Amino acid sequence: MPVVQIVIFGFALTNEVKNAKIAVLDNSKDEATTSLIAEFSNSRYFDVEKNLVSYNQVQQEFKKGKIKLAVIFPQNFSRDLQHLNKAQVQLIADASDPNVANTLTAYANAIIADYQNSITNNRKLPYTINTEMRMLYNPQLKGAYNFVPGVMAMVLLLVCTMMTAITIVKEKEMGTMEIMLVSPMRPQIVVIAKAVPYLLLSIVNIITILLLSVFVLELPINGSITLLMLESILFTLVSLSLGLLISAAVASQQTAMFISLVALFLPTVMLSGFMFPIENMPLPLRTVSNIVPAKWYYIIVKSVMIKGLGIKDIWKETLVLTGMLIFFLTMAIKKFKIRLA
Amino acid sequence: MNNNYAITANNLTKRFGDFVAVDNISFEVSKGEIFGFLGANGAGKTTAMRMLCGLSLPSSGTATVAGFDVYKQNEKIKRSIGYMSQKFSLYDDLTVKENMQFYGGIYGKSDAFIIKKTAFILNHLHLEKEANVLVKALPLGWKQKLAFSGAIFHEPEIVFLDEPTGGVDPVTRREFWNMIYQASDLGITIFVTTHYMDEAEYCNRVSIMVDGRIEALDTPSKLKSTYNAASMDDVFLKLARKAVRACRLNNWHETIFSF
């Protein structure tokens, strides 16, 4: 436990952004842009992932979700700089995570300013490079864009997993579970009946969170609401089956609570990308984050709600969640049967 | 199978790994009989009972309950039996009436049946005034009687009672046994485990389990003469002392508290 904590708190939980993937669209391809791009790739904060050839590609790259920042040089960058002493560069950041966007644009500005100073040194008239920034998806850099999807993941997980696990284990503790198992009711029906109220409760929760975020936090839902609801129900089912698995495996309410908290709540907060960017974590933690269901749901909600993307951009995440659902459910049913035999 | 038997068991065995919890037990229980199933803690009573109730599958041997095979006709058995567990088996945060409705519901009884039966039970237990009281507010003795009424709510052929009178005062225990006799008069077969030897005297026949095996099975009076004992208590002690494994079982605390 202490080892895990040190590793998580020491390495993972940092808001510093390193090795952020960026795309470059160089329309002038001259001496100045080449050396500036070199500055970017030499910096430990940025990895130049893609060299784009047209402006249309910028939007596409952001949709894929890998690129956090795009740097765009206009035509004749060097010439403008030499003759007018002034040049323009555009930075476009993926502000669906406002903290990361802020940090990245600050780093990028610093690199550009550095370069500007280095070439101005022996000149009377200073060169100025104007940066124009665009915050994609979240122009006002509202924090809500970040935490609403995170809160949705957390609430659903808490309600579904923890409550389901605890109520079923409570029945085991009380002895009422046995009463139902000796009755003609099929065990599967008993378990499903226990899960249904929480499914309904979760749907009410999702609707409440969405209404609040739209009307109180003024957060738009850019994508399809139906898709968002379906994906949320999918995540709810994953959480429910996880709850069932826990309840089949443990015997007391305390254990159920402890497992739900330690094994689910903490990773959800820390490894879902909601509080701390996953990209900066060391490889082992990044790997572990893949088994946290909330991570995938978080990506889905952000994509649908904030970026307004459709199913064809999030089918991979959806597939992962579906796989998890099938896995947890099979395990839970198996566990349940073993207990009976 | 002989139709006069409510329960038959033939070399019924349950193993958990190397541990033989129930070791080749064979017995028959006649219809309408009150059958006492005794044994120290860890002797295998609850495991045996769970196999008969369809809560766990036997490792070997055969058994029938209400004429149905425990391996293949599990669902039919469940329809014909009632069960009252060692743990208190009502919902604390439902009212008396709601608990009765719940029992009726899980056995798929009609609304009309449930209403009629609930009214009958409340009247019988003099609980009409408490119909809408939460069960957790009732004294333990009343809860036990209510739980028994729940177990026979659907009018089963056989009812399994797992230490139904644990922690209940002698007066209430006597009342509880009156209820058992009434149920028996209605033709319900009673299969009961208990630690109280005075209760063993109330049974038609008694079996005593030691270390997973049935060491003795007869009417209380015959058992007393066979073992030359003054009371069932003595019979039990003579037999239970043979046990070698009771002390190494994990539910040692129960052993301490119930003796």
Query: 3-class SS at B207?
Result: strand
Look at B34 and A170; give whichever has higher pLDDT: B34
Q: Which ranges of chain A have pLDDT less than 50? A: none
CB contact under 8 A, B91 and A185: no
Residues of B in contact with A174 (CB under 8 A): 87-89, 91-92
Range of weakest confidence among A168-182, B33-47, B60-74, B136-150: A168-182
Residue A24 Cα distances to A34, A118, B31, angstroms: 11, 22, 87
Judged by a CB distance cut-off of 8 A, whether residue B144 touches chain A is: no
- Tell me the nearest-neighbour CA distance from A325 into chain B, angstroms: 28
Residue A175: per-residue pLDDT: 78
Judged by a CB distance cut-off of 8 A, whether residue A338 touches chain B is: no
Residue A124: per-residue pLDDT: 67
On whether ipTM exceeds 0.90, the answer is no
What count of other Cβ atoms lies within 10 Å of the Cβ of residue A226?
9
Residue B116 Cα distances to B96, B101, B149, B150, angstroms: 15, 11, 14, 14
Q: What does the alpha-carbon distance between residue A322 and residue B137 come to, in Å, rounded to a whole number?
A: 45
CB contact under 8 A, B90 and A176: yes
Residues of B in contact with A179 (CB under 8 A): 83, 85, 89, 106, 150
Ordered by start, the domain boundaries in chain A are 13-136, 144-340
Residue A337: per-residue pLDDT: 67
What count of other Cβ atoms lies within 10 Å of the Cβ of residue A148?
22
The answer, yes or no, to whether residue B118 has pLDDT greater than 90, is yes
Domain count, chain B: 1
Residues of B in contact with A175 (CB under 8 A): 85-89
Closest CA to B96 of B117, B141, B127, B140: B127
Q: At B188, which CATH number?
A: 3.40.50.300
Which of B57, B89, B155 to mutate to probe the A interface, most A CBs <10 Å?
A: B89
**Long-range Cβ contacts of B167-175 (<8 Å, 24+ apart):** B167/B140, B168/B140, B168/B141, B168/B144, B169/B141, B172/B141, B172/B144, B172/B145, B173/B199, B175/B141, B175/B145
Q: What does the alpha-carbon distance between residue B73 and residue B54 come to, in Å, rounded to a whole number?
A: 9
**Which residue of chain B comes nearest to A178, CA vs CA?**
B85
Average pLDDT across chain B, whole number: 86
Look at A141 and B245; give whichever has higher pLDDT: A141
CB contact under 8 A, A184 and B88: no
* Cβ-contact A67, A23 below 8 angstroms: yes
The answer, yes or no, to whether residue B56 has pLDDT greater than 90, is no
Residue B257: per-residue pLDDT: 40
Share of chain B above pLDDT 90, in %: 37
CB contact under 8 A, B85 and A178: yes
Say which of A179, A185, A341 has its CB closest to residue B89: A179
Tell me the residue range of the domain where B123 lies.
Answer: 5-258
* Class of the CATH-defined domain A13-136: alpha beta
